[in-house]
Structure 1
Amino acid sequence: MPTRTAAPRRAAAAGALREWTIDGLRFRSWSSIADPGAPTYVLIHGVGMSHRSYVHLHRELAPTATVHSLDLPGFAGLAVPRDDVTVSRMGDALAELIRELCPAPAILVGHSMGVQWAVAAALRHPASARAVVLIGPVVDDRHRTLLAQARALALDGFREPPRVNGRVLLDYLRSGLRWFFQQVGHMLAYPTERRVEELRVPVLVVRGSRDPVAGDDWAHRLAGHAAEGDVVVIPGSAHHVERTAARAVAGGIMAFLARRSVRPA
């Protein structure tokens, strides 16, 4: 069983900040707490990113739900683990953190590589998730190389607003090259489509219509691997659709959950 400790609460419940150590990995959670009975979302950023990826989506979801935005080990200024952390190990630690944060299964939302960590948590610990939302998912199984992903990411930079590129660059710089590329190696090796196939909860794939990282064909093929899958495409947005079109993403998620009758436990 992973070991865990929690630092004292350092902010009011409306924007509560806590730090956690689980299995030797340091996490940070930013939480908005709703009334009991409201749905709970856990927002998981991608490689090199931070909870700031979700500032706008968090705000859109919070009026009617409890929302936890996470900072993951080695990112957002958190300590870089001394040993390797595979997707499976990160999923195990995330599931333990989710159990601490949520009294009932949550809706797990991942962006980019955060998709893989969310899927691993839901698959390896089914009691942690009621549904999984995959935003800009990686890695397209027909383009599973570092060169292909680097090209797609570079192209995406020309399609994002300057403010988004600036935030992304700052987060990348804080993660450090060694940790970043170690995680990218795990990202490329992880068969997202096969793991999604094993999930038994509803799966929503969300992409921006101009996203070169998560193309339309890949998004629909990935949703097709799920037992209960669907796709939402947000017009005009690129890879960081959770930042640039948060209201549309939130609306798409809530409509999907209503269609699939996913309700709080």
Structure 2
Amino acid sequence: MSQIHTLTMPKWGLSMTEGRVDTWLKEEGERIEKGDQVLDVETDKISSSVETPFSGVLRRRIAQQDETLSVGALLAIVVEGDASDDEVDAVIERFQAEFVPGGDADEDSGPAPQKIQLEGRTLRFFDRGEGASPLVLIHGFGGDLNNWLFNHDALAAGRRVIALDLPGHGESGKTLQRGDLDELSQTVLSLLDHLDIESAHLAGHSMGGAVALNAARLAPNRVRSLTLIASAGLGSQINGEYLQGFVDAANRNALKPQLVQLFSDPALVNRQMLEDMLKFKRLEGVNAALRLLTTQLFAGGQQHTDLRSVVAQQPSLVIWGANDAIIPAAHAEGLSAQVEVLAGQGHMVQMEAAEQVNRLILGFLQGQ
């Protein structure tokens, strides 16, 4: 018995409404397996690969290169088993007749990010999904909750998942009192208090990993597990030239060479990403906040807080890109944790290898 599958334009984050087909990675007639990257799609935020959720033969490539399509639009037909061309044509015809571009936008959008006053400053967070054992996502230096654009929805399929903008970042208040890990970690714990969450799983990327580790050090009974992605706090080395270059950059030409170091594929750093980052960096208070954090956490282009011993205190998953140019993957060696080093990936592994990272996190959390 044959199965005819429809591969459609995914929705990566709340703001995505359409994507442009950049490059097909598979040919018609080619056998593909679940998880294979089939084509590259560019959005107004970033480029990423569309992975197939099923196996079979790529029978039809519907979307054309450089074509811009709405979320949910038909990209390709994948067939497992035998199916005639007439059967494939019938599925395509029915799909195209019933598909309404943007028709389920309101339904998909779900809750919007919220803003609260916490400890005298604004804090923005995004709360999605339901469950008794929440997961909190903590971004890195210079990032915001959108760094989890390709992860939040997938991780929230079976549990409550909360992403926040740390102080000095995103749309949270920009004023920092000390700019140290204790201040950032206490913000995470205070958000848990505000939401009446007794304990949570924490996932942190880069500086956010150090924030998660330090929260576990400060309040071990409130942290059920740690997921550390290219985490700070596990060794002294860090790319100080990147940090200084990022803080100093005031235009696209200065910023782009810094951001390309975050990715294994430099083409992902598009004009929109640069414009969004420059817009953030020009907000009042951001420059002072970033410089204070750099001074407190990464003075002299080194990390000064060793939190390796915290890893062994609760179940921990450590994920790293083997080609990370910001914090070396060697920092994962010797940890009392499940360690996953992804070949060919860079610092923003949760964006570039989102499907793989999501699977790792979901598998890890199922055991907790």
TM bracket (short chain): 0.7 to 0.9
In 2, distance between residues paired with 1:26 and 1:240? 27
Of 235-244 and 12-21, the range deviating more from structure 2: 12-21
Partner of 2:187: 93
The amino acid that maps onto 2:276 is L
Structure 1's 197 and 143: CA in aligned 2 closer, same or farther, altered over 3 A?
same
The amino acid that maps onto 1:216 is A
Please tell me whether residue 159 in structure 1 is matched to residue 271 in structure 2.
no
Query: How many residue pairs end up in the alignment?
Result: 241
Structure 1's 126 and 219: CA in aligned 2 closer, same or farther, altered over 3 A?
same
What is the CA distance between 1:168 and its match in structure 2?
6.4
1:201 to 311, 314, 338: 314
Structure 1's 144 and 111: CA in aligned 2 closer, same or farther, altered over 3 A?
closer
1:214 to 304, 327, 347: 327
Q: Using CA pairs under 8 Å that are at least 6 residues apart, name the structure with larger relative contact order, 1 or 2.
A: 1
Structure 1's 203 and 237: CA in aligned 2 closer, same or farther, altered over 3 A?
same
Partner of 2:203: 109
Partner of 2:293: 183
Partner of 2:358: 250
In 1, distance between residues paired with 2:173 and 2:236? 34
In 1, distance between residues paired with 2:161 and 2:222? 15
What is the CA distance between 1:235 and its match in structure 2?
2.9
SS at match of 1:98: helix
SS at match of 2:151: helix
SS at match of 1:63: coil
Structure 1's 147 and 13: CA in aligned 2 closer, same or farther, altered over 3 A?
closer
In 2, distance between residues paired with 1:98 and 1:25? 16
Structure 1's 114 and 214: CA in aligned 2 closer, same or farther, altered over 3 A?
same
Q: Which has the larger radius of gyration?
A: 2
In 1, distance between residues paired with 2:221 and 2:112? 24
The amino acid that maps onto 1:237 is Q
Structure 1's 100 and 87: CA in aligned 2 closer, same or farther, altered over 3 A?
same
SS at match of 1:206: strand
Matching of residues 217-232 of structure 1 within 5 Å: 217-221=330-334, 224=335, 228-232=336-340
Which runs of 5 or more structure 1 residues have no equivalent in the other structure?
1-11
Partner of 1:28: 124
Of 114-123 and 142-151, the range deviating more from structure 2: 142-151
The amino acid that maps onto 1:178 is A
The amino acid that maps onto 1:42 is V
Structure 1's 85 and 216: CA in aligned 2 closer, same or farther, altered over 3 A?
closer
Structure 1's 98 and 46: CA in aligned 2 closer, same or farther, altered over 3 A?
same
CA contact (8 A) 2:205 2:230 kept: yes
Q: Normalising by structure 1, what TM-score?
A: 0.78
CA contact (8 A) 2:140 2:205 kept: yes
Structure 1's 169 and 256: CA in aligned 2 closer, same or farther, altered over 3 A?
farther
What is the CA distance between 1:13 and its match in structure 2?
9.9
Structure 1's 61 and 214: CA in aligned 2 closer, same or farther, altered over 3 A?
same
Considering fraction of residues, name the structure with more helix: 1
CA contact (8 A) 1:207 1:233 kept: yes
CA contact (8 A) 1:113 1:138 kept: yes
Please tell me whether residue 143 in structure 1 is matched to residue 143 in structure 2.
no
SS at match of 2:241: helix
CA contact (8 A) 1:155 1:212 kept: no
In 1, distance between residues paired with 2:109 and 2:136? 16
1:80 to 160, 174, 181: 174
1:85-112 deviation line (CA, Å, top 9, x unaligned): 3211111121111233353421111111
The amino acid that maps onto 1:101 is L
The amino acid that maps onto 2:273 is R
Of 234-243 and 15-24, the range deviating more from structure 2: 15-24
Q: Normalising by structure 2, what TM-score?
A: 0.58
The amino acid that maps onto 1:195 is L
Of 92-101 and 111-120, the range deviating more from structure 2: 92-101
Structure 1's 153 and 82: CA in aligned 2 closer, same or farther, altered over 3 A?
closer
2:134 to 40, 43, 55: 40
Superposition RMSD in Å: 2.9
SS at match of 2:150: helix
**What fraction of aligned residue pairs are identical, expressed as a percent?**
24
Partner of 1:6: none
